[in-house]
A and B are shown apart, each in its own frame.
Chain A
Amino acid sequence: MLFNSWIFVAFIALVLPVYYRLPHRWQNRFLLVASYVFYGAWDYRFTSLLAISTIVDYFVAKALRTAEAPRRRKGLLLISVATNLGILGFFKYFGFFVSSAAGLLDSFGLHAEMSLLEIVLPVGISFYTFQTMAYTIDVYRRRQEPVDDFVAFALYVAYFPQLVAGPIERAHRLLPQIQGERRVGREEWNSGAQLILWGYVKKVAVADSLAKYVDLAFDAPERLGPVTLLLALYCFALQIYCDFSGYSDIARGISRLMGIELMENFRQPYLSRNITEFWRRWHISLSTWLRDYLYIPLGGNRRGRAAQYRNLMLTMLLGGLWHGANWTFMAWGGLHGVYLAVHKLMTGDRKIAAERPPSGLREWAAFLVSAVVTFHLVCLTWIMFRAQDIESAGLYLLRIVTHWGPPADANYVAQFHGMIDALVFYGLLTLLIDFACWFNQRELPLTSAHRWWWRGLAYGAGLVILAFVRESSSEAFIYFQF
């Protein structure tokens, strides 16, 4: 069930009151059942995958507690990684690998009959497999004690607010909260409700509104002119950010109402001065996961420059592949890898400046220029991310830069007549919300320190926008396909 659906509202309306009335032990059991109901609403068959991942990792971790021999420990870890990557690989990448192999053979003149299964992609599979793998890897590294309470562990894997689109939590953060007593006071209520409100504004008002222009543009870029394509690209940049960060905010807000803190997953990434800072602000749970479980084990920056750049590229390529079974995602990741490597080359051993807001006119000017440049570099990668295939991505980029191809189709362009209004309005709205957070270096634009009428006005405006502004009907979260 989508967060932005009435059925989810009804689900929460049932879950929260029951949750509050239960003692702690029964809260975990109840939440576990609710989480499986939530996930089963997508497709009940895939709850079995969730259960398999949970059971395998629970027992692997327990076995790691007593296993001392390195070979045995590695073997146990391999079971967990193979199970999770196997599930992920089969359901997400089987078709991609088969069709890519067939394509490769075809290019050598060898035609091979490859049977393609019609495999449905389970929602959130990339998220929970990574989360549960991180647990066993941490247990293997002796950084995490294995959990005896099966219900607590199962809830760690299946916890519904973050199950299908993150944030990808770490065991050392989430498990103690699940195992321990939880408190929901006034501050949790206020901030949790505010997170939910801004999350819905970003997802429902902003992301869903811009979706139709993005779809129209990427469906037929050859029918549009460069300006329309560029504006549609900005729309996508806004859409994907608000879609994903909106979902994360809703997840964190709901979780906070239950006394559980989920990690911040986005920190105003489009206000980054450079690409390195961007990756500290965008999808933080994934970027830190890739850093800790891929980049650092590969050697990180400890084996010289060349190795560092190689490790960066590999990490980003695999990070791209994580997003989807398509060469476009790898291209997206690869381009970010290039950006990061170039930035490392430019900055050398110099420490990246602290990410504090600028002060003084010169710093503001420098910030604006660098933020705009960084934003556009990121937008370039979004073409790869959103396009159906490499060819379409290339065409999209070529049309923007050179207006290559046939002239724009006036009738098709006419469908974009509301786009500028939407882009300006929603862009400013998002900037307003994000700027307040970024400038004050806090997670929410308003705090309890603000006057009650000021907060009321802001919340009211958010509700009015949700109620009375729309461009299109409900859209699923983009990141659900991962």
Chain B
Amino acid sequence: MFVAVRLLFVFRPVTLLNYPEDHDSRCFLAEELGYRVEGPPHPEVLIMGTSRLMECCFDPLAEALALRPEEVMSLSRPTNSFWPIRLLLQRNPGMLDGARVVVIDLLPYQIRERPDFPESDTLFLGYASLRERLDCSELRARVLTAADWLLPLWSERRTVEYWRKGIGTSLLSEGDFAVTMQELARSGSAEQMARMRTFGPGSFLRVFYFLYLPLTPISANEVRALDEIIDMMPEDTQLLLIMPPLIEDLHEALTGLRLEQYTDFQDYMRSMQRPGVTVLFCDEPSAYGFEREDFVEGVHFTDSGYRKLLALFADVINGLSAEGL
């Protein structure tokens, strides 16, 4: 039985039998594109953001860049980081063909292992190679993820509905893509945003530290993934690694406390700056025109925040040259 099951999962890239479980059926399309797509889209501007960019409609950005709406595509997903971005790009290699700019939105947790890793990281459990599993920093993570690779009793446990959908799933066509992404993003995360709006500043600081500045080891897999993303970029494609502004309170706390998790992250990311790769930390919110009402709870944006963010993106992208900003 073990041999049969293992063989089944060896053919995962082709069989499309897998389907992640940790989101509802109105899933974020970036998650679906973690699996191979026949005929992936070829946007000019590809946004690979976190939940900060999930609810955003990028049509104004397309207009500002003199592009059609479908030429600006967002594959943002919650808790996005370099490893899943690399996975998605690897499994859909044609997607970067003709891309002018790839935008990755930065947050400090992205080079670290998650506090609840590996149980919570179903993409990693589903797709990481054995080598990547053995590269996890914690012994427990190495053992669990390797055991799951051997016999995926954790990562491949799906509901009946997902097994049914996963078999022979045909993913959304190019034409439907951009609209569907925004609809899905809005409907899926509205409840979460509503809940986060109820947090007071003090509570949110604590949540922020836990979620975004975890005191967990640096992830060798994430670091390697970022290098591989950079290597994947075609010659004419600019990679923009940008951390949009945070609310004033968080900005002051981060700069005032000079937390290692944040300064290390900044230093590391800035070391990635090179021709073709631009790194930008929008540290001071007021310098970019962001005010309190532009943020939901301090990290995610309101509609007015998104308008300013897209204007910022347009300015930055238009200012990009072959050598970066």
Contacts and interface: CB of A to CB of B under 8 A. Distances in A.
Contacts of A463: 1
B142 interface: no
Interface stretch (B156-164, B290-298, B316-324): B156-164
Nearest to B162: A418
B159 A467 contact: no
Q: Which bracket fits the contact residues of B?
A: 10 to 19
A421 B158 CA distance: 12
Contacts of A460: 1, 4
Given A460-B1, A463-B1, A468 B156 contact: yes
B1 A469 contact: no
Contacts, number: 46
A467 B158 contact: no
B158 A468 contact: yes
Given A417-B25, A464-B1, A422 B160 contact: yes
Nearest to B163: A469
Interface residues of A, number: 15
Contacts of B64: none
Contact of B157 (A418, A422, A468): A468
Contacts of B160: 209, 418, 421-422, 425-426, 469, 471
Nearest to B1: A460
A376 interface: no
A468 B2 CA distance: 12
A424 to B, nearest CB: 8
B136 to A, nearest CB: 23
Main secondary structure of the interface of A (DSSP, over half): helix
B161 A467 contact: no
Q: Which of A417, A421, A468, A470 has the most CB of B within 10 A?
A: A468
Contacts of A209: 159-160
Contacts of A426: 160
Interface in B139-184: 151-153, 156-164
A422 B159 contact: yes
B253 interface: no
B5 interface: yes
A469 B157 contact: yes
A417 B5 CA distance: 28
B1 A422 contact: no
A421 B157 contact: no
B138 to A, nearest CB: 22
Contacts of A469: 157-160, 163
Contacts of A417: 24-25, 161
Interface in A414-446: 417-418, 421-422, 425-426
Contacts of B151: 467
A212 to B, nearest CB: 10
A421 B166 CA distance: 13
Given A467-B153, A468-B156, A421 B5 contact: no
A23 to B, nearest CB: 37
Nearest to A456: B1
Nearest to B25: A417
B155 to A, nearest CB: 10
Interface of B: 1, 4-5, 24-25, 151-153, 156-164
5 contacts: A460-B4, A463-B1, A468-B153, A469-B163, A470-B159
The 9 nearest A-B residue pairs measured at CB: A418-B161, A421-B161, A421-B160, A425-B160, A460-B1, A470-B157, A422-B160, A471-B159, A418-B159
